[in-house]
Structure 1
Amino acid sequence: MSKPEITAATNFLRAIVQADLDAGKHAKIITRFPPEPNGYLHIGHAKSICLNFGLAEEFGGQCNLRFDDTNPAKEDQEYIDAIKADVEWLGFKWAGDEHYASDYFEQLHAWAVYLIEAGKAYVCDLTPEQAREYRGSLTEPGRDSPFRERSVAENLELFARMKAGEFPDGARALRAKIDMASPNMNLRDPILYRIRHAHHHQTGDKWCIYPSYDFTHGQSDAIEGVTHSICTLEFEDHRPLYEWFLENLPVPVRPRQYEFARLNLNYTVTSKRKLKQLVDERHVNGWDDPRMSTLSGFRRRGYTPASIRTFCDMIGVNRAGGVVDVGMLEFAIRDDLDANAARAMCVLKPLKVVITNYPEGQVEQLQLPRHPKQDIGVRVLPFSREIYIDASDFEENPPAGYKRLVPGGEVRLRGSYVIRADEALKDAAGNIVELRCSYDENTLGKNPEGRKVKGVIHWVPLAESIECEVRLYDRLFKSANPEKAEQGGSFLDNINPDSLVVLQGCRAEPSLASATPQERFQFEREGYFCADSRDSGPDALVFNRTVTLRDSWGGQ
């Protein structure tokens, strides 16, 4: 079956941006990517990164990187550094220096005072539990806080004392005075400031009150002159609040918020809380574990920036939502590596083969191309009397359709000779430990008439091969919808126990001795692999499986 063509899907925001430019609404497009630094970026963030940076790039505008750092208790410099690295790895560059919501704390505080003075904000003493009770529900209106009608003077005094650190966490909050009966619960006097005595990674101990996301987001956009504030659909109900703040504050510009459907990928968890739980409880080996849905995990596993960007183009941008098949992501990396990864041979389960009729002491230096379609050089494989093949490539009692080595049968060694299996040597337990074979010296690079060879298998020279560790990574979850817990269970119940299989004592061809961390290869007949960025080096080669050869998407 022919390989499906990769095409970009629809992006409805592109048409909106083009129409705004054509109408002269904006002279320059400014977007932003505003992650909260409370975890590592995941594959869902890649869609937002590609969208925001991509639109700015396409239309000659700019995209800002702005950290939504309003919750210091959950944020860390480690996450900031990782986010910057991920954006750069994907091939994007933000305009100027990175921004922080904390850069605007003074202005946001001044605007909070402005709302108090306008009678549109008040200090509320309700506990969080009481505030939830007063808020009402989707079917019942909320009730006014008993502190809603405090005077402007009292509110200004209490807010100043909040800022001065006179009250404990949770004792008071500053709330907007909007409409407790609104059918949109986000407009029921939302919180503007909370008391949090926490050290901030950017501002230190200067503040003990921190603005809410809703109060910060739109005003930060306005300060930066953002023209198109793009977010996922769960913020659609927040848009009236976003606009209320812009209408009631003396902001320099009024950005417009647009929503798109977030990426939902089957067999994958993208909740930051759950990803952190996987790390904290050591179900995985850190945020960059190659089984994680984080961009650092995909990078360590061997995914390329081009494959992630291609995947984001394939799924498109719309408002319909739905679940994307993870096979599409695997197709994107497989397509990229098929075209660009050098070929090599690695025997995962070595079985010694002695070619009995090959001259002892003779060594041939065979040259094999590093890629079948690209001229990127050759690699040299010494061929002599003793080699390794994979144990799975010999069967005494083969199943139907088996096309590898059997007693008395022949196969071709990749790039080398045709060999015949003559004898299998076994240990005391009956396990095959060595094959005795013979070769046809007239078959190097040839296929004589009348010779029917069932298959081609890979091999490495016994003496010159290099021992390595191979980590076979698979999907972390065995369920297509891992976040759907059954019978009171947890998403952790869906973890795939075979998501990582570590193979020691594998044997790699000599050319792989120079493999550098993150260098990618197709191990012929085994899949696509990369040298591990942490553990692989000159003294110990470690290869991670990126993806198998077989496609589960696109009819391959």
Structure 2
Amino acid sequence: MPPKLSPEVEELAAHFRACGLSDQRATETARSKGAPAARALVDLARLRDNPLDDKQNALVLQIAKDGQGLNDDARLYLVDAIRAGRILKSDQVAAAIKFLAATPPPVDDKAFDETCGVGFTITPDELDRRVRAYVAEHDAEVRKTGWTGFSKTSGLMRQADALRWVNPLELKAAAEAVFEELFGKKEDAKAKAQAAADKAKKEAKAPKASTSASPAAGAASAGAAESPDDMFAHGWLSRLHKPGGNEQKIPERMKEHLQWTGGKVFTRFPPEPNGFLHIGHSKAIAVNFGYAKYHKGHCYLRYDDTNPEAEEQIYFDKILENVRWLGYEPYAVTHSSDHFERLYDLAVLLIKKGLAYTSDDSAEEISAQRGGKEHGPRHDSKDRTKPIAQSLSEFAAMRAGAYKPGEMVLRMKQDMQSSNPTMWDIIAYRVLGKPHHRTGTEWCIYPTYDFTHCLCDSFENISHSLCTTEFIAARTAYEWLCDALEVYKPRQSEYGRLTLEGAITSKRKLLKLVKEGHVDGWDDPRLYTLVALKRRGVPPAAVISFVSNLGVSTQGSLVQLSRFEQTVRSHLEMTTPRLNLVLRPIRVTLTNLPSDFSLTVDKPLHPKDPSMGNISVPFSRELYIDADDFRTEASADFFRLAPGATVGLLHVPRPVTYVSHEVDPSTGAVTHIECRYEADATAAVPAGFKPRGWIHWVSARAGDAVPVREARLFQRLFKSDNPGALSDAQYLADLNPASKEVVRGAVVEKAVWHVVRESLARAKEVVELRQAEAAKNGTEAPPSVDGVEVVRFQANRVAYFCLDADSKLDEGNEGGEIVLNLIASLKEDKGKKA
């Protein structure tokens, strides 16, 4: 577990929390070197009297760190700008500090806003113009590197004054469009670069090959920065030590380690099986499994199962399923409990070395030894000088069940005067008296995380023990214990954790939501557990892409939900077929067509990916359109169907014109619309007519429309950005009552059965490929971890959807009940009219 805070740090953290900082940010800030500057600024701004939210406080902390050269008036001006919502992002703070440092008072608000991007907006056309102007200005450099230099070019674009405040995702999309015009599709360029790299690699192996790198190899290397592996090739992870680079107290241990590993990277993902994994764990999975894979090493899945009171089999099962869902296969699945006997023997050895002792001190007494609530001076336990023989005898009695929980513990003899709380004689073993899911009643004492974790890393010859920054202080105790027992000592390295805006990751708070019925289970699509993301239809590749694009550093971050959603949307854009789904149908009759009229409309499943193929859909006299696409009164800003209007039907040769409509007299709801199909020579609409609006539709002829039992639409579960920072009462009050809408009566075109069949077949092929790979490598064959959520499609003009697990498909996948989950809305088109 993370170490306890010193009295001074805890007092400072409490002060920061009172100013609106989240628990995590308050603790990290109190521990940091910049704590005095942060304290001075929050006091100057009187944030305790008028707190900001955690996201705003992150910007205030940036001022405290980078704006120390500003006077108090300038810093207060900037804090007020944050409070007023004028300054919203980190790069705006950086620009503001630079502006205020160079500008004498009083501050010119207009100049400040312009320089710092306050209220910045840009139209798609203007964005396109500015991107093209930048590319033209840097034509030589852009053409020299092409797609392989896209990351560098787009990064430099963001620094240009004309593009500095553009949304990064919108800028990237605009730049990609220009690059595609210049250099063709990105995928084709990558394939060409890879082929050149493979050729260069083959030539390098030839006896007379040149040792200098070829231009082709350099181009391929540059292109690699565009892949998910970029986070391992650059940044914090690229600077980690090489295998064998972690110094040892006893050099012989390293020789043994390298002999066992063969110099390969070995990592581990070590979750506690006491809850469901969430979006934050996806980063740990991607970092540990991905780092090992990138370096052609191995990663264990190790369950930290040392607390039988909180562990359940479903957690073990779902953790492995989540890892496999994200595309990784463990080198081996292990448990801390595999080593219970060996851990016990090492605890005995620690006692014999005079570095551990048994103690019957109560929890209150141990707290007092650590300074207590008053944060007073620390002192040793009365048991610290106990004879080794007595501790050995009492530890054996602990194992034999002679003590009840709380009556006796084993503590490590470390350094009570250290400034690091993890060195204050922390507990190594405690009595729980509970049966274990794997060892039954064999043990009644269990090792703590602090004793177990580093030793299991040692047993498994982990070369890189990667964890999040809340364990920085624990590294001292980690290394102390390995050295004390003279075992191989892995190196622990810490990176910043991932926190997603609007997501709850506390297992305790999640459990409360589930048990009290605020959500529909751990896999409720409104949650950000991995089982929930899976059920919602979020592609696992999109999750990995999201983590990879964030990069890895030592800084924790609260990531905007919109950034995650855009990553998902970008992935779905090029991987999902298009279908017509009418959520709230209104029947339309084309009165000038005969009752048996039938026209087959051919259309692509994806307009940009011919490989998905085409489908034929029926177009008949009777149609369904969405209620949102009709208004009973025409208006200048509404370009869909209304009295007097003519609209296009997607993929249909000719438009339709309004004739009349009927309403339910009791409710006023429109029940039927009559239109004219403008196809004959006497049509009022000329042949070259282009309608101002286009709508989607589904044939209403018997058998043409597939009913949808339910379409489930989701919004954010919480109203605030950081519900995890709220108290138990506050976070429940923060629930969004409109977070789930169930729509009944929707219809989808019958081509959905084609999509169902093809999607399930592709998923089966992926499983078979992974099983074949496992057979080739002699490893466990992973089972299928996918369900019907692999059936994903874009509902034209509506959103992205997937099949929910509540769907009931008939054998052969050509019938049954369909239940849909909204995955993500369509990307907002700023140029689209109503």
Q: Confirm or deny: 8 A CA contact 1:231 1:260 kept in the other structure.
A: yes
Structure 2 unaligned runs (5+)?
Answer: 1-123, 129-169, 174-225, 248-253, 761-787, 810-814
- Flag as ranges the 4+ runs of structure 1 deviating above 4 A: 6-10, 17-26, 447-450
Deviation at 1:535, TM superposition (A): 3.3
Q: Return 344-353 or 428-437, whichever deviates more.
A: 428-437
Percent of aligned pairs with the same amino acid? 40
Q: Confirm or deny: 8 A CA contact 1:466 1:513 kept in the other structure.
A: no
Deviation at 1:457, TM superposition (A): 0.5
Q: 2:496 aligns with which of 256, 261, 264?
A: 261
Q: Confirm or deny: 8 A CA contact 1:262 1:321 kept in the other structure.
A: yes
Equivalent position of 2:513 in the other structure: 278
Equivalent position of 1:340 in the other structure: 575
Q: Residue 608 of structure 2: SS of its match in structure 1?
A: coil
Question: Higher relative CO (CA 8 A, sep ≥ 6), structure 1 or 2?
Answer: 1
CA gap 1:144/1:268 in 2 versus in 1, 3 angstroms = same
Q: CA RMSD in A?
A: 2.3
Q: Confirm or deny: 8 A CA contact 2:243 2:264 kept in the other structure.
A: no
Q: Confirm or deny: 8 A CA contact 2:660 2:673 kept in the other structure.
A: yes
Say if 2:713 is the partner of 1:472. Answer: yes
Equivalent position of 2:657 in the other structure: 420
Say if 2:568 is the partner of 1:296. Answer: no
Q: 1:16 aligns with which of 235, 240, 255?
A: 240
Deviation at 1:497, TM superposition (A): 1.3
Structure 1 unaligned runs (5+)?
Answer: none
Equivalent position of 2:694 in the other structure: 456
Q: Residue 240 of structure 2: SS of its match in structure 1?
A: helix
Instruction: Give a deviation string over 1:446-502, Cα, whole Å, max 9, x none.
Output: x9665241111011011320110100022221111112337x833122212121111
Say if 2:784 is the partner of 1:520. Answer: no
Q: Residues 54-73 of structure 1 correspond to what in structure 2 (within 5 A)? A: 54-73=290-309
CA gap 1:222/1:399 in 2 versus in 1, 3 angstroms = farther
In 2, Cα distance between equivalents of 1:336 and 1:188:
49
Deviation at 1:381, TM superposition (A): 1.8
Say if 2:724 is the partner of 1:483. Answer: yes
Say if 2:736 is the partner of 1:496. Answer: yes
CA gap 1:232/1:297 in 2 versus in 1, 3 angstroms = same
Letter in 2 for 1:502: V
Aligned pair count reads 547
Q: Residues 26-41 of structure 1 correspond to what in structure 2 (within 5 A)? A: 27-41=263-277
Deviation at 1:322, TM superposition (A): 2.3
Q: Which has the higher helix share?
A: 2
Q: Residues 508-547 of structure 1 correspond to what in structure 2 (within 5 A)? A: 508-513=748-753, 515=756, 517-518=788-789, 519-537=791-809, 538-547=815-824
CA gap 1:257/1:442 in 2 versus in 1, 3 angstroms = farther
Q: Residue 229 of structure 1: SS of its match in structure 2?
A: strand
In 2, Cα distance between equivalents of 1:116 and 1:80:
33
Q: Residue 540 of structure 1: SS of its match in structure 2?
A: strand
Instruction: Give a deviation string over 1:147-200, Cα, whole Å, max 9, x none.
Output: 222211111111111101111112111111112222111111100001011121
CA gap 1:406/1:20 in 2 versus in 1, 3 angstroms = farther
Q: Confirm or deny: 8 A CA contact 1:141 1:183 kept in the other structure.
A: no
In 2, Cα distance between equivalents of 1:291 and 1:351:
29
CA gap 1:399/1:286 in 2 versus in 1, 3 angstroms = farther
Q: Confirm or deny: 8 A CA contact 2:243 2:265 kept in the other structure.
A: no
Q: Residue 384 of structure 2: SS of its match in structure 1?
A: coil
Q: 1:233 aligns with which of 469, 486, 505?
A: 469
Q: Which has the higher strand share?
A: 1
Q: 1:438 aligns with which of 676, 691, 703?
A: 676
Letter in 1 for 2:691: V
In 2, Cα distance between equivalents of 1:141 and 1:340:
62
Letter in 1 for 2:543: I
Q: Confirm or deny: 8 A CA contact 2:244 2:463 kept in the other structure.
A: no
Instruction: Give a deviation string over 1:252-278, Cα, whole Å, max 9, x none.
Output: x21000000000111111122222222
In 1, Cα distance between equivalents of 2:700 and 2:459:
66
In 2, Cα distance between equivalents of 1:132 and 1:400:
73
Q: Confirm or deny: 8 A CA contact 2:506 2:724 kept in the other structure.
A: no
Q: Return 124-133 or 28-37, whichever deviates more.
A: 124-133
Q: Residues 392-431 of structure 1 correspond to what in structure 2 (within 5 A)? A: 392-398=628-634, 401-416=637-652, 417-429=654-666, 430-431=668-669
In 1, Cα distance between equivalents of 2:310 and 2:583:
43
Q: Confirm or deny: 8 A CA contact 1:141 1:181 kept in the other structure.
A: no
Deviation at 1:128, TM superposition (A): 2.0
Q: Confirm or deny: 8 A CA contact 1:14 1:55 kept in the other structure.
A: no
Deviation at 1:331, TM superposition (A): 1.0
Deviation at 1:140, TM superposition (A): 3.5
Q: Confirm or deny: 8 A CA contact 1:233 1:260 kept in the other structure.
A: yes
Deviation at 1:22, TM superposition (A): 13
Q: TM-score, normalised by structure 1?
A: 0.94
Q: Residues 180-195 of structure 1 correspond to what in structure 2 (within 5 A)? A: 180-195=416-431
Instruction: Give a deviation string over 1:389-445, Cα, whole Å, max 9, x none.
Output: 0001001235652221110101111111311111110111222111011111169xx
In 2, Cα distance between equivalents of 1:412 and 1:191:
73
Equivalent position of 2:746 in the other structure: 506
